[in-house]
Chain A
Amino acid sequence: MTRLFRIELIKIRTNAAFWVLASLHIGIILLVILSGKMFLRSISLNGESITNLIDPSAIPLYQFPDIWHNVTYVAAYLKFILAIYMIISITNEISFDTLRQNIMNGLSRIDFIVSKYFLILLLSFGSAVFVLVTALVTGLTSTPEFEAHDLIKYSGFIPAYFLLLTAYLVFAFLIGLLIKRTGLAMGLMFLYTLIIEPVIVFRIKTDWIKGLFPLKAINNLIHMPFGKYALREVQDYVAVKDIAIVAVYLILFTWFIYLLLRRRDL
């Protein structure tokens, strides 16, 4: 098992695309969080006309316990950067013929899937740890005073974020394997994520059916938190039902991936 993990480590260690996209992913997360913080500070310092309407310091965006929910929700938008790397990693194996060569060398198809799942777990785990540390540091420096239970409340969004990334990257794995060509696979992933599924979901009226679509289901792991600052009711917890739907999709995606590899001539 560890040998499969080592194989993926050798592949990414000196791979420029990996380091560029991983840095971009965490760099942008950091940028979004810091710029939001600076924006809040600037309006509380200069924008008197705005502060008359709402007091920014009254919005605890960066304070425990809200920060867990807010940061993971925003960071989840940047999952696509890791998905780009995932697609490159899969389509490269096909276009370089290394998948075929590896199987000829004695890697089974299941070994291949497991090794790529290690990569997915590494990406998701790395990102989740980064978000955890960022949220912790930002929360500690932004919260005037808090108690232990404030720190822990909502921190369940970190494992939810990890699951969300994992599911989306497995989805990217499937798309890459299905389409085989890097550009085409990325195009389809964006088209489906940004247009096809949102349009279909938009036309459906019933909420629970909306939640059955794969990306909607994945995104439902972390609901939008900001409504509560306008006194709207939001789901500020990770629902077991949402986890279950994503788990079913994970199994389905894996099964499709296995079937594709099983049936296809390489």
Chain B
Amino acid sequence: MVTTDGLTKFYGRIRAVDHLTFSIPEKSVFGILGPNGSGKTTTLGMLLDVIHPTSGTYSWFGNPPDKKNLQKIGSILETPAFYPYLSAVDNLRIIAEIKSSGHENINEVLKITGIYDRRHSAYRTFSLGMKQRLALAATMLSNPLVMILDEPTNGLDPRGIAEIRDLIRRIAAEGKTIILASHLLDEVQKVCTHFSVLNKGQLMYTGMVNESREEQYIEISADDMQKLLDVLVKFPDHLGIENKGAVVVMTLPGTIPVSEVSRFLFNQGVLPTHLVSQKKSLEAQFLEILKEEK
């Protein structure tokens, strides 16, 4: 969908983005994680032709940079940007003209994002949450192949956040590619299929969200906790066992299927009453990735 080759941006002597080479697969929900100032927005700005790379190249859909590519992309960068004195409908009309896409979708996207009732109000009278919703409506307007969302749930209340996530999943299910920049790990974990981590302009990691990088945690409890502990110690390849009272947490390499644990316990004469495998949370992975590089 999009590939970059050595994308670099200097602001004076500050290296905001440093030789980024990556590609984002079609139909993925791709999360870009990184602390504030890690170069997420600068990177997206370069892909959207509003920031000039110091060096390096990128291509969309296999084509060199051109406005035709951008017309097939719906994007928000940082904060929603609209004409404050124009109504929601007029703002969307302008975007439809720019994308040469016709006005028939306007009412539909306003309904999907839940601001249809306020469609004739001036943008400046909107709350932050409504502005975010209009921005999302704008990205969906021309039925784009790719949506780029930079912190799309900023300023939304919990219900709004849940709705936006739902919406992102629904759009992804339609086979669209979504690129989501966020510093909210939880957000990326809940909606993304792939993610990468940026820090100080460098690409730290790229992979699938569910791909367990190293470890998994298995929570087990049984009627006889002492016997459970005694048996588990004998489990081959375990990386650690912790007794948490009501449950025992065993750390295993990510490659071992849970069924093996269950079979092992059964063979040893222990019947687990509770057995849950937890992949390492993205937050833990993220912090670890950042720590490794220090």
Tell me the A residues contacting B by CB distance below 8 Å: 3, 6-7, 10-11, 13-17, 92, 96-98, 100-108, 111, 263, 265-266
Contacts and interface: CB of A to CB of B under 8 A. Distances in A.
B97 A3 contact: yes
Interface of B: 45, 48-52, 67-75, 77, 79, 81-87, 90, 93-95, 97-100, 138
B196 to A, nearest CB: 21
Nearest to B93: A10
28 contacts: A3-B97, A6-B97, A7-B94, A10-B90, A10-B94, A11-B86, A13-B90, A15-B85, A15-B86, A100-B50, A100-B77, A101-B82, A102-B94, A104-B48, A104-B49, A104-B70, A104-B73, A104-B75, A105-B70, A105-B71, A105-B74, A105-B98, A105-B138, A106-B67, A106-B69, A108-B67, A265-B45, A266-B51
A14 B97 contact: no
Which of B77, B83, B90, B93 is the most central at the interface, judged by chain A CB atoms within 10 Å of its CB? Answer: B83
Which of B69, B75, B94 is the most central at the interface, judged by chain A CB atoms within 10 Å of its CB? Answer: B94
B41 to A, nearest CB: 11
Which of B50, B82, B95, B100 is the most central at the interface, judged by chain A CB atoms within 10 Å of its CB? Answer: B50
B56 to A, nearest CB: 15
B87 A14 contact: yes
**Chain A interface, DSSP helix/strand/loop, else mixed:** helix
Nearest to B66: A108
A107 B98 contact: yes
Given A7-B98, A100-B81, A106-B99, 8 more contacts: A11-B94, A13-B90, A16-B85, A92-B83, A96-B81, A101-B82, A104-B70, A108-B67
Given A7-B94, A107-B67, A98 B51 contact: no
Contact of A106 (B51, B68, B83): B68
Nearest to A101: B81
B132 to A, nearest CB: 14
A104 B67 contact: no
Minimum-distance CB pairs A-B, first 10? A106-B71, A97-B81, A106-B70, A101-B81, A266-B50, A104-B48, A108-B67, A265-B51, A105-B98, A107-B98
A15 B91 CA distance: 12
A108 B70 CA distance: 10
A14 B90 contact: yes
A101 B83 CA distance: 11
Contacts of A98: 81-83
Contacts of B49: 103-104
Nearest to A15: B85
B85 A7 contact: no
A21 to B, nearest CB: 14
Contacts of A17: 85
B1 to A, nearest CB: 16
B87 A104 contact: no
A265 B52 CA distance: 6
A8 B86 CA distance: 12
Which of A96, A98, A104 is the most central at the interface, judged by chain B CB atoms within 10 Å of its CB? Answer: A104
A177 to B, nearest CB: 15
Contact of A14 (B73, B74, B85, B100): B85
B83 A11 contact: yes
Contacts of B48: 103-104
A98 B138 CA distance: 13
A111 B67 contact: yes
Contact of B98 (A13, A14, A106, A266): A106
Nearest to A112: B98
B90 A104 contact: no
A106 B49 CA distance: 9
B100 A3 contact: yes
Contacts of A101: 77, 81-82
A260 to B, nearest CB: 13
Contacts of B73: 104, 106
A7 B97 contact: yes
Contacts of A96: 81-84
Contacts of B98: 3, 7, 102, 105-107, 111
A106 B52 CA distance: 16
A266 B265 CA distance: 61
